[in-house]
C-alpha cells in the first residue's frame, strides 16, 4: 500500500488585500500540516485574489501596477512567497500556491509548487478562462510550449534569500520517489483536450486543480462530474481547491473543495460558508490507482505509446506504507443544495462579505411587500441567521465582524438573528395612493418576522409637490390612463412615484443611522430580477438603482420557488402569502374594473421571459433562429404566425430597453442568461428595434409555411427543458464548471 494524506481548501480571499490573503494561506497550511497531509493545494491566484482577473477591477489594478513587472506590487507578491518559504510552512509538505508570475515580457497565471523551503517548479496556466465572466486573456498569456521545461531565473531578492537561483518553468509534473503529482489549473480541466489525460498516461497519480470558479445556479454537478470523469476511467486522485466568497466583484466563488479517487468523491467541502478558511483532507491508497490502471487494457495500450511529458525529480517520499495509524477515506454521497437553498445561501454569504468589507453598518431595503423585494429581505434574514449560527459554532472572525457592524459594546455579540437584524437592517414601505393595504401589511409582517427595523412612509406629499412644480412650469397636469390620460401621461405619473422612492431610499440610508446615533452608513439594496431586466420592465433610476442587488440575475420563477421554500425553511411564514399574490407594480390607481398586473403590462409571462432569456444569451439566438426554435418548442399550442408575433414583440421591447442594462445595479451573478451589460453580456445597447431585415425574414418563413403547423414528433427541441440542470447550462461555456 502507498498511503497518502492530502489536503485542499476553500479560501475567502479579497483581491489586492495581501495581508488577508496571506493570513488565510498560512492558516490553511497550518491546518493541513496539523492533519498530517503531505500535499496542500490552494486556489488559483490565492496570493493576489482571483477577482483581479475581471474587467474593470483589473484595469484599476493595472494602473496601480498589479501585473506590471517593475512595480512594487510585483515585489509584494514575491515577498509573500518568500515569507512562506523562509518560515517552516513548506517543511515536509508539498504546497501549491497560486499567483501571477512574469517571465521575460509575459505574464502567466501560475501554480508555484514548493516544498522544504524550495520552489520545485512553476506551472503556468495553459488554457485561460475567457468566456462569460472571465477575461484572463486580457491580463495573461497562455503557456503554449508543451516540450521541455525552461529555466526561470528567480528575482534577485528571492534567489538570495532562498539560495536558489532558478526553477523549472512550464508544463510538466513532479516525480517523487513513490508517486507523480501534477497541477491542472481550473479551466484546463474543462478544455476539449485536458492535460490530465496525457499526464495520467505518463504515470501522474495525483492531480491538483487550483480554481477561481463562481457560483451559478444548478451548476455544481457539472463541475463534480468533470472531477469524477477525469479519474473514473483512467484512475487518479483529483484534488480541487477554490476561492469562496465575494472577493471584490459580482461573483460569488462557491468553494466546494473536493477530493476524488478513481471517480468517487471521498471528501467535499462546503459550497456556501462564512468561514475564511476551510481545509478538507483525505487518506488515499495510491495502489488503488495503479491497480485500476493495470486493469484497463486500453489505458495500458495508450500509455505504452504516450507523448512524453517533462518532469522534475524530487528525491522524497510522500506516502507511507501500510500502517494502522492511518485509515482510508471512503466514498461519500455527494451533497447538492437545492436551487432554493442556493438562492438563500449564495447571495446571503456574498452580502455578508460585501457588508463587512465595505465598511457599511447595514442595509436598507425599499420593501414593497411584493415577491422581489421580499426575496431580498428574506436573503438578508438568512444572512443574519447564518451569522448567529457561525458565531455559536465558535467562528471568531465572524464574531469580530458582526460586533463591529452591529455596534455591540461591553463584550456583547449577536446571539439572536432577529436582534441582529434590528441593528443592521432597515426596511421601508413607501406607499402611495395606488398602494394597497394588503402589500403594506405584508411588508410589515415580513419585516417583523425577520426582525428588521421597519418604517412606513407615505410618498403622496412628495409626488404631489413634484407634480405641482411641473404644473407651475408647464401649465399642464398629467392624468392616469384610467382617468382619461394618454400612455405618455400614464407612464410619466408612474415613473415619478418610482423615482421618488429611490431618492428617499438613499436619503434614509444615509440619515437614519444618524437619527439613531449609530456610526457609519447603510447600503441600499436593489431588488429587480433578471426577467424584468431582460424585458426592460423597470423604471430607469427607480429603486432598481441601488448600491448592490442580491437577486439581479435570478429569474422570477426561481424566486417564487425560493419564497415557498423560505416560508418554511427560514421561518418567515408571510412569504407564502407574498408568493401567492399576483405580481403588480401598484403604480396606477386601482378601479373596480382595473388593477395593474406585471404580466399584462409586459405583454408576456415570466415563464416566457425565461425561455427568451435562455435562447437569447445561452443559445445566442437572434429573432429568426429564436422563431424557428420556438416553432418546435411551442408548436403544439401556437401556430407559426402566433410564435412570430411573440418573438417580434419580445425583440422589440428587449431592444428598446437594452440601454437600461448599462446602469443595472451591480448584482450577484447567479444565472447564465443574465443580460447584465457591464461584465457579462457585452452586446450593443442601441438596436434598431424594428429589426427590419430579421422580421421580414420571419414573415417570409411564415408565409412559406402556407398555414402548415410543425409536424411535432412528441419530443421538444433542445431548448425545451429549461427547468433542469443540463438544459439550464448546456451551450454556455462559462457555466460548464
Ligand X SMILES: NC(=O)CC[C@H](N)C(=O)O
Neighbours of 317 (CB within 10 A): 14
Beta-sheet strands, E only, within 327-403:
362-366
To ligand ATP, the closest distance from the beta carbon of 504 in angstroms equals 9
Q: Hey, what's the cell of 293?
A: 490502471
Q: Is 180:319 a contact under the CB 8 Å cutoff?
A: no
Residue 316, H or E segment: none
Q: Does 371 bind ligand DND (CB under 6 A)?
A: no
For the segment 119-158, give every residue that binds ligand X (CB under 6 A): 129, 134
Decide if 586 contacts 439 (C-beta within 8 A): yes
Name the segment binding ligand DND (CB under 6 A); options: 47-55, 65-73, 507-515, 531-539.
531-539
Minimum CB–partner distance for residue 466 and ligand DND (Å): 15
Listed residue (401, 424, 674, 371) closest to 533, CA to CA? 674
The yes-or-no answer on residue 341 being catalytic is: no
Q: Does 455 bind ligand DND (CB under 6 A)?
A: no
Binding mask 365-404 for ligand ATP (x = CB under 6 A): -xxx-xxxx-------------------------------
- Is the separation of the CB atoms in 488 and 512 below 8 Å? no
On whether the CB atoms of residues 734 and 134 are closer than 8 A, the answer is yes
Question: Which listed option, ligand DND, ligand ATP, ligand X, none, makes contact with residue 515 (CB within 5 to 8 Å by class)?
Answer: none
Q: Is 254 in the site for ligand X (CB under 6 A)?
A: no
Contact between 501 and ligand ATP by CB under 6 A: the answer reads: yes
> What length does the chain have?
737
- Closest contact distance (angstroms) between CB of 679 and ligand DND is 19
Scanning 32-40, 360-368, 614-622, 645-653 for contacts with ligand ATP by CB under 6 A, the matching segment is: 360-368
Q: Which stretch binds ligand DND (CB under 6 A): 504-512, 514-522, 534-542, 568-576?
A: 534-542
Q: Which of 38, 311, 317 is nearest to 198 (CA)?
A: 311
**Pick the catalytic residue: 96, 270, 368, 553?**
368
Q: What are phi and psi of 390, to 5 degrees?
A: -65, -35
Identify which of residues 495 and 678 has a Cβ nearer to ligand DND in the complex.
495
Q: How far is the CB of 130 from ligand X (least distance, A)?
A: 9
E-only strand ranges, 318-424: 362-366
Max CA distance (Å), the chain: 93
Question: Of these partners, ligand ATP, ligand DND, ligand X, none, which one is at the site of residue 633 (CB under 5 to 8 Å by kind)?
Answer: none
CA distances from 497 to 156, 429, 456, 494, 712 (A): 64, 13, 15, 6, 48
List of residues 6+ apart from 197 with CB closer than 8 A: 234
57 counts as binding ligand X under rule CB under 6 A: no
Minimum gap (Å) between residue 481 Cβ and ligand DND: 11
Q: Which residues contact 27 (CB under 8 A, 6 or more apart)?
A: 276, 277
Stretch that binds ligand ATP, among 40-48, 293-301, 363-371, 727-735 (CB under 6 A): 363-371
Residue 210 backbone dihedrals phi, psi, to 5 degrees = -95, 130
Rule CB under 6 A: which of 143-172 touch ligand ATP? none
Inter-axis angle of helices 339-358 and 556-569, to 10 degrees? 90
Q: Is 44 in the site for ligand X (CB under 6 A)?
A: yes
Distance CA 695, CA 617 (A): 19
- Binder among 186, 206, 230, 265 for ligand X (CB under 6 A): 186
Closer Cβ to ligand DND, 125 or 556, answer by number = 556
The correct pick among 42, 43, 98, 212 for binding ligand X (CB under 6 A) is 212
**Angle at CA 253, nearest 5°, toward 250 and 254?**
130
Q: What is the distance between the alpha carbons of residues 28 and 8, in angstroms, rounded to a whole number?
A: 8
Pick one of 266, 585, 604, 664: the residue that binds ligand DND (CB under 6 A). 585
Q: Which residue among 186, 349, 382, 631 is the active-site one?
A: 186
Relative to beta strand 453-458, strand 237-245 is unpaired
**Least gap, CB of 364 to ligand ATP (angstroms):** 10
| Secondary-structure percent of the chain, ordered helix, strand, coil, rounded to 5 | 45, 15, 40
Closest to ligand ATP by CB, 353 vs 372, is 372
Piece of the chain touching ligand X by CB under 6 A; list 207-215, 255-263, 618-626, 681-689 = 207-215
Question: Is position 543 an interface residue for ligand ATP (rule: CB under 6 A)?
Answer: yes
Q: Is 213 in the site for ligand X (CB under 6 A)?
A: yes
- Three-class SS state of 549: strand
Choose the binding region for ligand X from 208-216, 227-235, 300-308, 487-495 (rule: CB under 6 A): 208-216
125 labelled catalytic: yes
CA distances from 210 to 115, 159, 194, 560, 731 (A): 17, 25, 14, 35, 24
**Cβ-Cβ contacts under 8 Å for 358 (sequence gap 6 or more):** 523
Stretch of 149-157, 205-213, 280-288, 341-349 lying at the interface with ligand X (CB under 6 A): 205-213
User: Would you call 414 helix, strand, or coil by DSSP?
Assistant: coil
Which is nearer to ligand DND, 180 or 371 (by Cβ)? 371
Site string for ligand DND, 597-626 (x = CB under 6 A): -x--x-------------------------
Among 185, 204, 217, 538, binds ligand DND (CB under 6 A): 538
Q: Does 659 bind ligand DND (CB under 6 A)?
A: yes
Alpha-helical regions (H) of 242-322: 286-295, 297-304
Which of residues 214 and 275 has its CB atom nearest to ligand X in the complex? 214
Active-site annotation holder among 125, 422, 556, 617: 125
Answer yes or no whether residue 494 interacts with ligand ATP by CB under 6 A: no
Helix (H, G, I), strand (E, B) or coil at 210: strand
Residue 686 interacts, among ligand DND, ligand ATP, ligand X, none and using kind-specific CB cut-offs from 5 to 8 Å, with ligand DND
Strand 39-41 versus strand 94-103 pairing type: parallel
Binding site for ligand ATP (CB under 6 A): 366-368, 370-373, 429-431, 435, 501, 527-528, 532, 542-543, 583, 585, 598
Binding site for ligand X (CB under 6 A): 44, 129, 134, 186-187, 211-214, 734, 737
Catalytic residue annotation: 44, 125, 186, 368
Binding site for ligand DND (CB under 6 A): 491, 494-495, 498, 532, 536-540, 542, 585, 587, 598, 601, 659, 686
Amino acid at each position: 500500500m502507498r498511503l497518502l494524506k492530502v489536503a485542499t481548501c476553500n479560501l475567502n480571499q479579497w483581491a489586492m488585500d495581501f495581508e488577508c490573503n496571506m493570513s488565510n494561506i498560512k492558516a490553511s497550511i497550518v491546518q493541513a500540516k496539523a492533519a498530517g497531509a503531505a500535499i496542500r493545494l490552494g486556489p488559483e491566484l490565492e496570493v493576489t485574489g482571483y477577482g483581479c482577473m475581471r474587467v474593470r477591477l483589473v484595469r484599476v489594478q493595472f494602473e496601480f501596477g498589479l501585473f506590471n513587472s517593475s512595480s512594487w506590487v510585483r515585489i509584494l507578491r514575491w515577498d509573500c512567497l518568500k515569507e512562506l518559504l523562509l518560515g517552516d510552512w513548506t517543511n515536509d509538505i508539498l504546497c501549491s500556491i497560486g499567483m501571477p508570475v512574469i517571465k521575460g515580457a509575459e505574464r502567466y497565471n501560475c501554480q508555484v509548487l514548493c516544498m522544504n523551503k524550495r520552489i520545485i517548479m512553476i506551472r503556468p496556466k495553459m488554457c485561460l478562462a475567457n468566456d462569460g465572466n472571465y477575461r484572463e486573456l486580457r491580463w495573461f498569456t497562455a503557456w503554449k510550449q508543451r516540450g521541455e521545461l525552461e529555466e526561470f531565473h528567480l528575482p534577485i531578492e528571492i534567489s538570495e534569500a532562498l539560495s536558489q537561483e532558478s526553477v523549472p518553468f512550464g508544463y510538466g509534473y513532479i516525480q517523487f520517489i513513490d508517486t507523480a503529482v501534477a497541477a491542472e489549473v481550473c479551466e484546463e480541466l474543462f478544455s476539449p483536450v485536458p492535460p490530465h489525460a496525457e499526464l495520467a498516461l505518463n504515470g501522474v497519480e495525483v492531480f491538483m486543480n487550483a480554481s477561481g470558479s463562481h457560483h451559478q445556479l444548478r451548476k455544481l454537478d457539472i463541475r463534480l462530474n468533470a472531477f469524477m470523469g477525469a479519474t473514473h476511467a483512467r484512475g487518479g486522485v483529483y484534488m480541487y481547491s477554490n476561492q469562496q466568497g465575494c472577493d471584490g466583484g459580482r461573483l460569488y466563488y462557491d468553494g466546494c473543495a473536493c477530493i476524488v479517487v478513481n471517480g468517487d468523491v471521498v471528501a467535499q467541502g462546503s459550497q456556501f460558508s462564512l468561514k475564511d478558511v476551510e481545509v478538507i483532507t483525505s487518506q488515499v491508497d495510491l495502489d488503488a490507482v495503479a491497480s485500476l490502471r493495470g486493469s484497463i487494457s486500453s489505458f495500458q495500450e495508450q500509455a505504452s505509446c504516450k507523448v512524453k511529458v517533462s518532469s522534475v525529480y524530487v528525491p522524497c517520499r510522500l506516502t507511507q506504507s501500510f500502517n494502522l495509524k492511518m485509515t482510508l477515506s471512503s466514498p461519500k454521497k455527494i451533497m447538492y443544495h437545492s436551487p432554493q437553498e442556493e438562492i438563500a445561501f449564495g447571495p446571503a454569504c456574498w452580502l455578508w462579505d460585501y457588508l463587512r468589507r465595505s465598511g457599511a453598518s447595514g442595509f436598507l431595503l425599499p420593501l414593497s411587500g411584493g415577491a422581489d423585494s421580499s426575496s431580498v429581505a428574506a436573503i438578508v434574514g438568512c444572512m443574519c441567521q447564518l451569522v448567529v449560527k457561525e458565531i455559536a459554532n465558535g467562528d471568531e472572525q465572524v464574531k469580530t465582524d458582526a460586533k463591529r457592524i452591529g455596534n455591540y459594546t461591553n463584550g456583547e455579540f449577536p446571539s439572536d438573528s432577529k436582534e441582529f437584524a434590528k441593528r443592521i437592517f432597515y426596511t421601508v414601505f413607501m406607499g402611495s395612493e395606488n398602494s394597497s393595504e394588503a402589500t403594506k401589511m405584508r411588508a410589515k409582517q415580513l419585516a417583523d418576522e425577520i426582525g428588521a427595523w421597519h418604517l412606513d412612509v407615505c410618498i403622496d406629499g412628495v409626488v404631489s409637490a413634484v407634480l405641482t412644480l411641473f404644473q407651475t412650469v408647464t401649465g399642464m397636469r398629467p392624468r392616469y390612463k384610467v382617468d382619461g390620460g394618454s400612455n405618455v401621461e400614464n407612464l410619466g405619473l408612474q415613473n415619478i412615484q418610482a423615482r421618488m422612492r429611490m431618492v428617499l431610499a438613499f436619503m434614509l440610508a444615509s440619515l437614519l443611522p444618524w437619527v439613531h446615533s449609530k456610526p457609519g452608513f447603510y447600503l441600499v439594496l436593489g431588488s429587480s430580477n433578471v426577467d424584468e431586466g431582460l424585458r426592460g420592465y423597470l423604471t430607469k433610476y427607480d429603486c432598481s438603482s441601488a448600491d448592490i442587488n442580491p437577486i439581479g440575475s435570478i429569474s422570477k420563477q426561481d424566486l417564487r420557488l425560493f419564497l415557498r421554500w423560505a416560508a418554511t425553511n427560514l421561518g418567515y411564514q408571510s412569504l407564502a402569502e407574498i408568493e401567492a399574490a399576483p405580481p403588480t407594480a401598484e403604480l396606477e390607481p386601482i378601479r373596480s374594473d382595473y388593477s395593474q398586473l406585471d404580466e399584462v403590462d409586459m405583454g408576456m409571462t415570466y415563464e416566457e421571459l425565461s425561455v427568451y432569456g435562455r435562447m437569447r444569451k445561452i443559445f445566442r439566438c437572434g429573432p429568426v433562429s429564436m422563431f424557428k426554435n420556438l416553432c418546435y418548442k411551442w408548436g403544439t399550442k401556437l401556430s407559426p404566425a402566433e410564435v412570430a408575433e411573440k418573438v417580434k414583440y419580445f425583440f422589440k421591447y428587449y431592444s428598446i430597453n437594452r440601454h437600461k442594462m448599462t446602469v443595472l445595479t451591480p448584482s450577484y451573478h447567479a444565472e447564465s442568461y443574465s443580460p447584465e451589460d457591464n461584465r457579462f453580456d457585452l452586446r450593443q445597447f442601441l438596436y434598431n428595434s424594428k429589426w427590419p431585415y430579421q422580421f421580414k425574414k420571419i414573415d417570409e418563413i411564415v408565409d412559406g409555411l402556407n398555414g402548415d403547423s410543425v409536424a411535432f414528433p412528441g419530443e421538444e427541441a433542445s431548448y425545451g427543458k429549461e427547468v433542469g440542470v443540463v438544459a439550464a447550462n448546456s451551450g454556455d461555456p462559462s457555466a460548464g464548471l
